[in-house]
């Protein structure tokens, strides 16, 4: 626009040039003309008077010309000064007002100058905008060259590391990385996926960060410049550590809980196997614990359990591992003692010492309490080759000891384990039932905690045997997992769910999101993706209606392979959830690499959420962390209104549990959805 004024200005300049030339010419011509007039006058009048007037006229012309030149020069100087002032302002990033454009060469210059100012202003504003975005970001942003040289950092980076910008620009990115813990970030392959590293601050503090690295300007950019966006995850790490601690340690006795004990037993067995050694497992149960509880109250019961843990810890060799497996059941791993004669002698002695020590009376609230315990003993590898069987066999020996009257210990013998035989029978019965299509799928609704509306359901497989009634998955899924039957069962469940879903869709527009549990073996099938898509296609069910639940342990089994697979499932449109969160050993940060949208808090944490402060901390931390990672959080196993109220206060997203009834048949689920649509449902009152 400014540029378009320039041609209009050129004629003005020409006019001024002509005027100036005319003025100069008149300066020369007027005296000449006057001289001519003087010549004529000389002929007819007095000479002296005439010359006087000529001189006056000449002087006047000269004075006026001088004034005119002086004015033009002054005007020009003012314009030039104005231009200079504006240029200085621009240098200091002060854009001021645009210059007034007047005709003339300087006017053209002013117009060009204004044009330049406008362009510079636009660039500066957009640069300032980017700067203000960068400096108001909470994430530390670091831009590096392809060779890892830092080109730019934002305020959050300086804040995180305690350096001035100028101290970082020009150094290698590895200057701020704790190389001992994180190696090098130079040449990092940008993937856009969050990774973890340790940065080191100016004061030598190691800071855990979660960061992403991408190419600046996209993959195609030739410069290879990278942009790192890092977040301080110290708090998250601390919270996770606490969750993990609370999840592994029994809150009452402060010794490992069942989950942790099994994990430690697994490690001990692996060590014993490597060293070709034996180990010995004691399974201990307090005799008539229920009576102590009933007679003296729960507080006395708690004190009894604490006393058992203390006495076991004091009486056992320091390297022994003690755990509380359930209510009044404890277990001990004694490494290095085998079933050979000398080993057996030592175990006899130790077992008797423990029972004697436990039988010492103690006082609770002024009452003297007598307690005894019974003990079952099994050896690795003689009695069982793995954790599950070793615990089961020690338990079988304990059962035997109890039957003898208590306050004794028994060694495991194969004949004690009728359960093992039963297990074998169950396996073949399950196969037969499956082939005869005798399995069922029940649905447990999930409710939106804010509105009380049904959001979807979890599909749970059931097995009904005429002689035993309904068998729950916890009793037969592990058996199915031992064989490939779990693959067939899993696929059948998926098929059944899609069939039911198609049926529901005919009655209600949106039957919600249905989740299906997946086992590791299913996930490992080479053609899993194809199978799942073909099932969805054949029932015309949208993948977005389905959620796959995968346990934390399954996810971490082979993370790299699992990420690829889950990415493909996610790309299909399926939702993915982590099941039984909190019972595994992975970190939530590690979970970030999977395309997971839902976190399911294991019911073991929910059970005492309104009564046990430790469980309350675990649950509230998981809910908070889930929210921070933009995940929906489902609390499983809600049985009481107190638990519901607690979870509501925390801002948990969804709940499921027996509080709203037992998992139901497909027909009952659609009835529930219909009653909700008609407003005749009853469950919603619970959420008010
Ligand atoms: P899960 O996926 O954690 O399922 C939740 C379990 O909690 C279900 O047990 C459910 O009935 C139970 N539950 C729900 N609400 C409550 C409550 O308020 N209190 C209590 N105490 N329990 C509640 P279920 O049906 O016995 O299933 C156990 C596990 O078996 C499931 O745990 C899941 O891991 C597995 N499972 C079930 N169906 C399938 C399946 O189709 N395929 C595979 N691979 N696993 C399955
Ligand atoms: Mg589940
Ligand atoms: Mg679960």
pLDDT per residue as tens digits for the range 384-407? 999 999 999 999 999 889 888 889
Closest ligand to residue 493's CA:
1
Mean local confidence (pLDDT), 230-239: 89
**Who lines ligand 1 at CB under 6 A?**
444, 460-461, 472-474, 477, 490, 493, 517-519, 549, 579-580, 603, 636-639, 656-658, 663
What three-state secondary structure class fits 277? Answer: coil
What does the pLDDT look like over 83-100, one tens digit per residue? 888 788 878 777 778 888
CA distance 487 to 494: 11
Residue nearest to atom 37 of ligand 1 (CA): 460
Mean pLDDT of the chain: 87
Residue closest to 194 by CA, chosen among 594, 477, 468, 505: 594
Domains along the chain with CATH numbers: 1-136 (no CATH), 137-239 (3.30.450.20), 251-413 (3.30.70.270), 483-687 (3.20.20.450)
For residue 507, the model assigns a pLDDT of 92
What does the pLDDT look like over 460-498, one tens digit per residue? 999 988 877 888 898 899 889 888 899 999 999 999 999
CA distance 156 to 513: 40
Q: Which atom of ligand 1 is nearest to the CA of 461?
A: 38
Mean local confidence (pLDDT), 643-666: 96
For residue 638, the model assigns a pLDDT of 97
- Taking the centre of ligand 2 as the mean of its atom positions, its distance from the CA of residue 518, in whole angstroms, is 8
What three-state secondary structure class fits 549? Answer: strand
Mean local confidence (pLDDT), 654-672: 96
Q: In the chain, pLDDT over 90 holds for what percent of residues?
A: 51
Closest ligand to residue 446's CA:
1
Closest ligand to residue 519's CA:
1
Q: Which atom of ligand 1 is nearest to the CA of 490?
A: 42
For residue 172, the model assigns a pLDDT of 94
CA distance 663 to 657: 8
Closest ligand to residue 440's CA:
1
Query: Do the Cβ atoms of 287 and 372 come closer than 8 Å?
Result: yes
- Taking the centre of ligand 1 as the mean of its atom positions, its distance from the CA of residue 495, in whole angstroms, is 19
Tell me the pairing of strands 367-369 and 362-364. antiparallel
Residue nearest to atom 43 of ligand 1 (CA): 517
What does the pLDDT look like over 585-619, one tens digit per residue? 666 667 888 999 999 999 988 998 988 888 898 89
What three-state secondary structure class fits 575? Answer: strand
CA distance 603 to 637: 5
Q: Which two tokens stand for residue 171?
A: 């150094």
CB within 8 Å of 422: residues ≥ 6 apart: none
For residue 190, the model assigns a pLDDT of 80
Q: Which atom of ligand 1 is nearest to the CA of 442?
A: 25
- Taking the centre of ligand 1 as the mean of its atom positions, its distance from the CA of residue 583, in whole angstroms, is 14
Q: In the chain, pLDDT over 70 holds for what percent of residues?
A: 91
pTM (global) more than 0.85: no
Residue nearest to atom 33 of ligand 1 (CA): 517
Answer whether residue 125 shows pLDDT above 80.
no
Answer whether residue 185 shows pLDDT above 90.
no
Residue nearest to atom 22 of ligand 1 (CA): 637
Task: Give the DSSP letter of residue 543.
Answer: G
Residue 244 CA, chain-centre distance (Å), reads 17
């Amino acid at each position: 626009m400014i540029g378009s004024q320039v041609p209009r200005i050129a004629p003005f300049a020409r006019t001024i040039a002509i005027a100036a030339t005319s003025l100069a010419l008149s300066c020369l011509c007027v005296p000449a003309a006057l001289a001519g007039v003087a010549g004529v006058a000389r002929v007819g009048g007095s000479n002296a008077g005439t010359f006087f007037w000529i001189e006056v006229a000449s002087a006047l012309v000269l004075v006026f010309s001088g004034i005119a030149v002086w004015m033009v020069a002054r005007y020009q100087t003012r314009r030039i000064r104005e231009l200079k002032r504006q240029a200085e302002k621009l240098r200091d990033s002060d854009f001021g007002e645009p210059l007034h454009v007047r005709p003339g060469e300087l006017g053209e210059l002013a117009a060009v100058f204004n044009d330049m100012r406008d362009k510079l202003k636009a660039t500066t504003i957009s640069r300032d905008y980017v700067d203000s975005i960068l400096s108001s970001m909470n994430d530390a942003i670091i831009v590096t060259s392809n060779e890892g040289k830092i080109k730019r950092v934002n305020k959050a980076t300086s804040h995180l590391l305690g350096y001035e910008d100028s101290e970082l620009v020009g150094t290698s990115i590895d200057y701020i990385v704790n190389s001992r813990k994180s190696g090098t970030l130079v040449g990092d392959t940008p993937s856009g996926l969050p990774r973890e590293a340790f940065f080191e601050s100016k004061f030598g503090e190691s800071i855990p960060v979660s960061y992403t690295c991408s190419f600046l300007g996209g993959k195609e950019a030739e410069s290879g410049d990278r942009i790192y966006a890092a977040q301080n995850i110290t708090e998250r790490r601390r919270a996770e550590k606490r969750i993990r601690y609370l999840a592994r340690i029994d809150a009452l006795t402060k010794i490992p809980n069942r989950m942790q004990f099994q994990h430690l037993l697994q490690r001990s067995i692996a060590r014993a196997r490597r060293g070709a050694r034996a180990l010995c497992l004691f399974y201990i149960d307090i005799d008539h614990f229920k009576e102590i509880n009933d007679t003296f109250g729960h507080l006395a019961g708690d004190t009894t359990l604490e006393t058992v843990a203390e006495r076991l810890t004091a009486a056992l060799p320091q390297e022994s591992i003690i755990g509380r497996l359930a209510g009044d059941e404890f277990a001990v791993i004694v490494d290095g003692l085998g079933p050979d004669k000398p080993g057996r002698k030592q175990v006899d002695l130790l077992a008797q010492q423990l029972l004697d020590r436990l039988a010492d009376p103690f006082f609770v609230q002024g009452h003297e309490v007598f307690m005894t315990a019974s003990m079952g003993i099994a050896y690795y590898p003689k009695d069982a080759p793995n954790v599950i069987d070793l615990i089961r066999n020690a338990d079988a020996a304990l059962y035997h000891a109890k039957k003898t009257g208590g306050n004794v210990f028994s060694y495991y013998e194969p004949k004690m384990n009728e359960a093992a035989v039963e297990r074998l029978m169950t396996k073949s019965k399950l196969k037969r039932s499956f082939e005869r299509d005798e399995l069922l799928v029940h649905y447990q609704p999930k409710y939106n905690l804010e509105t009380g509306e049904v959001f979807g359901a979890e599909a749970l497989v059931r097995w009904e045997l005429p002689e035993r009634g309904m068998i729950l998955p916890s009793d037969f899924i592990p058996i199915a997992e031992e064989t490939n039957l779990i693959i067939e069962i899993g696929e059948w469940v998926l098929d059944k769910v899609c069939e039911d879903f198609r049926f529901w869709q005919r009655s209600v527009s949106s039957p919600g999101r249905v989740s299906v549990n997946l086992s590791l073996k299913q996930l490992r099938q080479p053609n899993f993706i194809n199978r799942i898509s073909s099932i969805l296609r054949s029932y015309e069910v949208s993948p977005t209606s389905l959620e796959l639940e995968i346990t934390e342990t399954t996810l971490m089994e082979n993370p790299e392979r699992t990420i690829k697979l889950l990415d493909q499932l996610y790309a299909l449109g399926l939702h993915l959830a982590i099941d039984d969160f909190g019972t595994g050993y992975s970190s939530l940060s590690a979970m970030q690499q999977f395309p997971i949208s839902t976190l399911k808090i294991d019911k073991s944490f929910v059970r005492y959420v309104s009564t046990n402060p430790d469980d309350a901390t675990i649950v509230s931390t998981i809910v908070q962390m889930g929210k921070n990672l933009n995940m929906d959080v489902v609390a499983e196993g809600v049985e009481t209104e107190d638990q519901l109220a607690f979870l509501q206060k925390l801002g948990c997203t969804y709940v499921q549990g027996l509080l709203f009834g037992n998992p139901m048949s497909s027909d009952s689920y659609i009835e529930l959805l219909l009653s909700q649509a008609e407003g005749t449902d009853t469950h919603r009152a619970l959420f008010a």
